[in-house]
Structure 1
Amino acid sequence: MNANQEKPIIYLSARKVQGGAELARQLTFFGFECQAFSKQSALLAAMYTRAPFAVLLGEAGLEDCTAEQILPLIGKLSRGPLLYLTSSLSVVQQIHLMKIGVSDFVYFPLDIQKLIDRLDVLLEQSMSIPYRVLIVDDSDAMGKVSANILIKAGMEVQVLKNPLDVFFPLERFSPDIVLMDVYMPQCSGDEIAKVIRQYTQFDSVPIVFLSTETNRIKQLMARSMGGDDFWVKNMPEEELIASVNMTCARYRSLRRWMSCDSLTTLLNHTHIIDFLERSVARSKKEALSLSFAMIDIDHFKKINDNYGHSIGDQVIKSLARLLRQSINGEGAAGRYGGEEFAVVFTETSLVRAAQKVDDWRKRFSELIQSSNDIQFQVTFSAGVATLKNNMDAAQLIDAADSVLYQAKHAGRNQVGLHQA
């Protein structure tokens, strides 16, 4: 979430919710804004002013109306999810409440971490990121026709006339799909596709050939050079839009499973290192600042020993969520391994990166973790280094790791800076 964007707001609507104040506090740590209401008039006035991302409604209702009385009114003013906080419900009761607007049920005793996990999923579903389409076609007219169709459908499109220049938009625009003309004067589409496939970072980007070629054998030969499909040019608009949507959705899902850690949904070890290596190369080429942080949860073995591995996973997920929501598109965060995380700060100085990490450290230390009826807090230590002349990615990792080691031995819950 960018700093200029409004935080998603959640309205907590209830006469009284056990742990409601703590819930509101925890939600703010994870990038949500939370407002509590106990009266119908105040809730409805707020909803008229600003529609919430989600509403949490307690089964006891509000001071001046029951939950069933307020549900239809909330449904008219908000299209977001409505979560019903309850102690227990029969299947018949759940079906009835779903018919009048409830989308999810949250049960007492309230597990705040699970609730935030659910809100994360709902937020991700609501934030549909437009598909990015790169069209490579030497014909201005044909490229613009396809581009206009896809732009009207809500997609982001770049048109490239010279296929030999394809690597710059591949790296900077990061397309979800490449629509490639087959017959171009500089080189054929299948030839440039074969070159693109030499670079592993573009393996998961589908290349679809667009051509008037109808010979099936020639189509298959082109696909064998590195393309994923072959579509005939001048197909109906709705067919083009549907084909791009389906292909992008499928490959986005595949890329997520390929590149992300299954527990945290951050980049996995391989892909965070790959991102760092590419960022180092770009920073050297363009003389840009680059900083890197290693973060390690303090006394993690004790957490597993005292509370169990499922609680340890919960702690890892809570830190991952904080990193994911705080990186703000200024780099990338990944799970380096176990309870250790790596963060790449593009175009960021050492001091600025260290300030960000220290802010995360303070926020993380204030989060309340829970295991059954036991509540506890966790801290992390970190090391931050910046790219120096002649450094490669491995040396940058070693530099951050060395000051992380020093921070651990200096008492933990602190951020070390590599000053060499």
Structure 2
Amino acid sequence: MTIDDKQTERLMTAAQKVFFTELREKVRKMKSLLSQNGLLGKAETGELRRFFHSIKGTASTLGLGSIYGIGDKWEEELDRTGDDGLDSSAVSDIFAVLEEIEKLAYSFEEKESVSDDMAECADYVNTQVRGKILIIDDDTAVLKLLENAFTLEGYKVYICDDSVAAMENIAAIKPNIIILDIMMPEMNGYEILEKIRSKPEYADIYIIILSSKSDVADRIQGIKAGADDYITKPFAIGEAIARVEMIMRRSKYYKEKLLKDCLTGAYSRYYFNLRISEETERYRRSGTIFSIALLDMDHYKEINDQFGHYAGDLVLKELAAFIGRNIRKSDSIYRYGGDEFIIIFPGTDCNKAYEIIERLRKEFVNKPVSINGKELYVTFSAGIKQITGKEKSVEQLVIDADKAMYQAKKSGRNKVMIYEEEMGFQNRSKTLLIVDDENTILKLLKDKFTNIGYNVVTAEDGKSAVSIVGKIRPDVILLDLVLPDMDGLEVCKQIREKVGEHPTRIIVLSGRKEKECIEKMKNCGTIDYITKPFLIEDLEARVLKALNN
């Protein structure tokens, strides 16, 4: 819905009444300031200047040209005064101007009462909450205008006229958009903006600066400080609404791309990390338990090899859609990586989560996926973990669920298992050999898989790798094709000769994407081929899957 001209007129009238009511009080304070003595110093002159700046900006927005003209003229006059202060003659002139403003305020005749205005407008209120807006401004008239306008448009509006309390309001409300006035007492808008942008948890809040300063330099300063948009006074209320709507549409679009997996429609791993942190924090605060289930397709590689990647993608989409339709509204499914999905069960213990996943497993196995006219029956294995408070990190929850899933795979697949502490000691027999001359990747992966509980051995060249394989039998080898002393293909061949019948799985890491190269490595017995650049999360997931198969 868009506010029409008649509604805009009512909103403006309501805001004008608030403005003039407050203006009379502000004028009284300024007259009191002038009455203290005949001369005014720098501090008093600055207070007068802020008064004229404030009424100038508000009056221009509310269509009050006479008040705007007075404010504009005397703001400039006081700017020229500098640090010299005001003599008795200038004080007398300003006193006369204040008398004039006071007369204008008293002579203002509102067209309709505020209650009548808003009662009529209420018939048009958009009842759908479109987002939360926090308006931070010490100008009550502007607050009233924006609050009423955005409320009519269906937004949940919060107002804050105290710059010091702004951060507390942001923490409590968690708004989608903040409209922030620059000229505020005690703490100006730039200081508030700097505080907001210093906190990572507020990174996705859109901030619109509201200011009477229209110079290019001021706009640049605002954008550099972290504002997403800059509205200068006077502004048309329709313009402010249009800008907020544009931001909300853009925010929704990017959030959907960020929060949803484009292939399956499940939520993304990025969003899972946010939600699991929220649930963990809620557990720490209130003791509200939750469980997660990590699901992995059985024989997914064989599906890809036999029917092609299109079939593999179709199976993933079918599974995600099936789970999404059959879990509770409070539960949510996320694509964790490859063919792995995670479900979060808020307020649910591991036994109840087991019942849900077991029901899904039994139902899904009887729902064939149609591929090129053929019906393919697919299964999955799952591991479940309930938070206990003993976990060292959020990641530990996933690690424990993965260990339970590994036991489900090991027990014959197409099973669901709940994590038990004894499972944590069963990975030490698994060995991963990382062959790469890039020390950063070596250290990163070594730390990662050592912490999970695997034996990790590293080699920086081909000869060292072949030598190590001659002494031990790694379960999985992560092999970079570009090594300082040997070609990766030759290293792979020599490793295959060394391990013999031992089921060592080799994963290739390479910047080469040619089909010929990929085919050669596949013929050499590798199980996966990861091209650079890659996401470290994806690499970890694929190595972990190879270790657990």
Query: Could you tell me the TM-score, scaled by structure 2's length?
Result: 0.48
Q: Measure, in 2, the Cα distance between the counterparts of 1:187 and 1:369.
A: 61
Match of 2:414, SS state, is: coil
SS of the aligned residue for 1:294 comes to strand
Shift of 1:295: 0.9
Distance 1:241 1:136, change over 3 A: closer
Measure how far apart 1:400 and its partner are: 1.0
Q: 1:344 to 1:245 in 2, by over 3 A?
A: same
Q: 1:136–1:163: 8 Å Cα contact kept in structure 2?
A: no
Q: What CA distance in whole angstroms lies between the structure 2 residues aligned with 1:181 and 1:328? A: 43
Tell me, yes or no, if the aligned pair for 1:133 and 1:179 is still in contact at 8 Å.
no
| 1:238 Cα deviation after fit | 2.7
- Structure 1 gaps, min length 5: 1-127
Counterpart of 1:136 in structure 2 is 135
2:308 aligned residue = 308
Q: Which amino acid aligns with 2:145?
A: V
Give, as a single letter, the amino acid of the residue that structure 1 aligns with 2:196.
Answer: I
CA distance in 1, matches of 2:189, 2:234: 17
CA distance in structure 2 between the partners assigned to 1:234 and 1:383 by the alignment: 60
Deviation at 1:379, TM superposition (A): 1.8
Distance 1:349 1:150, change over 3 A: farther
Please state how far the C-alpha of 1:229 moved relative to its aligned partner.
Answer: 0.7
Report whether the alignment pairs 1:386 with 2:386: yes
SS in 2 for 1:412: coil
Aligned partners of 2:412, 2:338: CA distance in 1, in Å? 21
Residues 288 and 235 of structure 1: CA distance in aligned 2, closer, same or farther (over 3 Å): farther
Q: Secondary structure at the match of 1:214?
A: coil
Give the corresponding residue for 1:351.
351
Shift of the 233–358 alpha-carbon distance from structure 1 to 2, 3 Å rule, reads: farther
Aligned equivalent of 1:203:
203
Contact 2:128–2:154 under 8 Å retained in 1: no
Q: Report the Cα offset of residue 223 of structure 1.
A: 2.2
Q: Which amino acid is 2:188 matched to?
A: S
Change in CA separation of 1:180 and 1:322 when aligned onto 2, cut-off 3 Å: farther
**1:292 corresponds to:** 292
CA contact (8 A) 2:131 2:156 kept: yes
- 5 Å matches for 1:15-414? 130-139=129-138, 142-160=142-160, 162-169=165-172, 173=174, 175-185=175-185, 187-232=187-232, 235-325=235-325, 330=330, 332-391=332-391, 392-414=393-415
Report the 3-state secondary structure (helix = DSSP H, G, I; strand = E; otherwise coil) of the residue aligned with 2:295.
Answer: strand
Please report how far the alpha carbon of residue 205 of structure 1 lies from its aligned counterpart in structure 2 after TM superposition: 3.0
Cα separation, 1, equivalents of 2:312 and 2:133: 42
Q: Is the 8 Å Cα contact of residues 332 and 344 (structure 2) preserved in structure 1?
A: yes
Code of the aligned partner of 2:237: E
Query: Secondary structure at 2:272's aligned position in 1?
Result: helix
Alpha-carbon deviation of 1:219? Answer: 3.1
Q: Closer, same or farther in 2 for the Cα pair 1:196/1:364, shift >3 Å?
A: farther
Q: Could you say which structure has the greater relative contact order, defined with CA pairs below 8 angstroms and 6 or more residues apart?
A: 1
Question: Is the Cα contact below 8 Å between 1:135 and 1:143 reproduced in 2?
Answer: no
User: Quick check: which one's helix share is greater?
Assistant: 2
3-state SS of the aligned residue for 1:293? strand
Q: Is the 8 A contact 1:164 1:186 kept in 2?
A: no
* More strand as a share of residues: 1
Percent of aligned positions that are identical:
29
Provide the C-alpha distance between the structure 1 equivalents of 2:131 and 2:390, rounded to a whole number of angstroms: 35
Q: Is the 8 A contact 1:134 1:160 kept in 2?
A: no
CA distance 1:225–1:249, change in 2 (3 Å):
same
Q: Which has the larger radius of gyration?
A: 2
CA contact (8 A) 1:191 1:225 kept: no
SS at 2:227's partner residue?
coil
Work out whether residues 291 and 346 of structure 2, in 8 Å CA contact, stay in contact via their aligned partners in 1.
Answer: yes
Secondary structure of 1:413's counterpart equals coil
TM-score by length of 1: 0.61
Q: Is the 8 A contact 1:136 1:178 kept in 2?
A: yes
Residue 384 and residue 145 in structure 1: after superposition, are their counterparts in 2 closer, same or farther (change >3 A)?
farther
Uncovered stretches (5+) of structure 2, i.e. residues with no partner: 1-126, 422-549
Q: 2:294, 2:382 within 8 Å by CA — same for their partners in 1? A: yes
Name the amino acid aligned to 2:410: H
Letter paired with 1:267: Y
Alpha-carbon contact 2:210-2:233 (below 8 Å) kept: yes
Partner of 2:449: none
**Cα distance in 1 between the residues matched to 2:208 and 2:236:** 16
Going from structure 1 to structure 2, the CA distance change for 1:289 and 1:132 (only over 3 Å counts) comes to same
How far is 1:396 from its partner? 0.9
Secondary structure (helix, strand or coil) at the match of 1:296 reads strand
Report the Cα distance in structure 2 between the residues aligned to 1:154 and 1:166, rounded to whole angstroms.
20
Q: Deviation at 1:341?
A: 1.0
Distance in 2, matches of 1:250 and 1:222, equals: 20
Matched position secondary structure for 2:401: helix
